[in-house]
Structure 1
Amino acid sequence: MHNSLIFEACVESLDDAIAAEKRGANRIELCSALDQDGLTPSPELTLKCLQHLTIPVMAMVRPRGGNFVYAEDEILLMEAEIEYFKGSGVAGVVFGLLTNDGAIDVENTRRLAKLASPLEVTFHKAIDYSDDILKSFQELNTIEGITRVLTSGGMDTAWNGRNILKQMQDIPGRRIEIIAAGKVLPANRLQIAEFTGVSELHGQRIV
């Protein structure tokens, strides 16, 4: 089983990205401003990483810190960023949108996922801030173009959310891959994978 695990390293610089690949990361999530849980990386940084890495790069699309409820002008900005990334050579994009009442913003998520095609799309930890994570996950499974969801099961760490992650993994008819995130480290990543059945894991210090 261990051979088939995918470790996605969350990075905000070229040096970190190169170091993560050397240490065995299978994929990069590229952001700026990790102190705000990750914002859209600059075009310059994105292109540098694509030139220097051999593993796939997923680019964050998040125009500002704070909540995940976006106004129309912010969605238009996210669309422009997705258009840029589509032409850049990244493997995919990462975004997450909620409504004011704590549900998935299905309409705008569908709109962005459709625009992002044929890139891979990860719906990020915004899902952990939704009111009903299992219901939200079932909704995401109905949206065309969503490849994965990044989640700690609504808890502060993936290990603490392991029971929810396992439930998400076992939902009948699931077609979206689950990436376990939240303090996933070399010391606990196998434990988390074995308990939950999840084969993709994500973290700033995953490798």
Structure 2
Amino acid sequence: MDASYQLEICANSVASAIAAEEGGAHRVEFCQNLETGGTTPSAGQIRIARQRLTIGLHVLIRPRAGDFLYTDAEFEEMKADISFCKESNCDGIVIGLLDADGRVDQRTEELVTLAHPMHVTFHRAFDVCREPFEALEAIIACGCKRLLTSGMKNTALDGVGLISELIERAKGRIEIMPGSGVNEANLADIARLTGASTFHTSAKAVLKSRMNHTNKVVGGMGFEVWESSKEKIRHLADILKTL
């Protein structure tokens, strides 16, 4: 991949993380429960992923699905998970906290300080904030080094206008990384329209269960699995080489 472009894969399992490395990704955002937007992976998953990966391992710190307004107890859980990631030699963490009015939670700075020297990304909680440019400045002031955003739209392609403006306003103080709906059909366009150099995607494929026996009367038991596709990742990495 061209050194000026980077590909981050949102990996929801050890298998997905390994596929990311084998496909040519620069790093992974490691999570579980991608179907609900992602939550913090287990200690076992983090340890095994760290053992098996040579690319960057950035762990999502999100105690639950839903909104990004966290109680004091949830905040303590996030701090404990960050400490575990530091002890496990992870390269970074991914966080996103808002207050009840949709502004960046001031406690974000405490998490960034705790995470040091790990890299800190502020995730798509930004996309449901009150005001994007106010939030951008707050995220920079807290010490985050990267912002993952879809430009406050459902997909990054729809949000290219805001993403481009965020990059212009950031002036290199923070990296702006488009994510959500990024795929092989639109990656080049998103890069061209935004001027971004780092891109985020799950590159997922739906795998059918390998079970021979199923009881179709009982629903909601998870007969499909999402997993990052090495082939899709390789295709995306190849596209970035041509830009």
Using structure 1 for the length normalisation, give the TM-score. Answer: 0.95
Q: How many residues align?
A: 205
Q: Deviations over 1:54-90 (max 9, x none)?
A: 1111001000110000111111110010010001011
Question: Do structure 1's residue 199 and structure 2's residue 197 form an aligned pair?
Answer: yes
Q: How many angstroms apart in 1 are the aligned matches of 2:50 and 2:2?
A: 27
Question: Do structure 1's residue 78 and structure 2's residue 81 form an aligned pair?
Answer: no
Moved over 4 A (4+): none
Q: 2:161 aligns to what?
A: 163
Q: How many angstroms apart in 2 are the aligned matches of 1:197 and 1:171?
A: 13
Q: 1:48 aligns to what?
A: 48
* Structure 2: segments with no counterpart, 5+ residues: 204-231, 234-243
Q: Deviations over 1:164-196 (max 9, x none)?
A: 000000005441101110111122212211211
Q: CA deviation at 1:100?
A: 0.5
Q: Give, as a single letter, the amino acid of the residue that structure 2 aligns with 1:91.
A: D
Q: How many angstroms apart in 1 are the aligned matches of 2:65 and 2:43?
A: 19
Q: Deviations over 1:123-147 (max 9, x none)?
A: 0000001021122112212223x11
Q: 2:181 aligns to what?
A: 183
Q: Is the 8 A contact 1:2 1:190 kept in 2?
A: no
Secondary structure, counterpart of 1:110 in structure 2: helix
Q: CA deviation at 1:21?
A: 1.4
RMSD of Structure 2 on Structure 1 (CA): 1.4
Q: 2:111 aligns to what?
A: 112
Using structure 2 for the length normalisation, give the TM-score. Answer: 0.81
Secondary structure, counterpart of 2:70 in structure 1: coil
Q: 2:212 aligns to what?
A: none
Q: Is the 8 A contact 1:158 1:192 kept in 2?
A: yes
Secondary structure, counterpart of 2:40 in structure 1: coil
Secondary structure, counterpart of 2:141 in structure 1: coil
Q: 2:24 aligns to what?
A: 24
* Structure 1: segments with no counterpart, 5+ residues: none
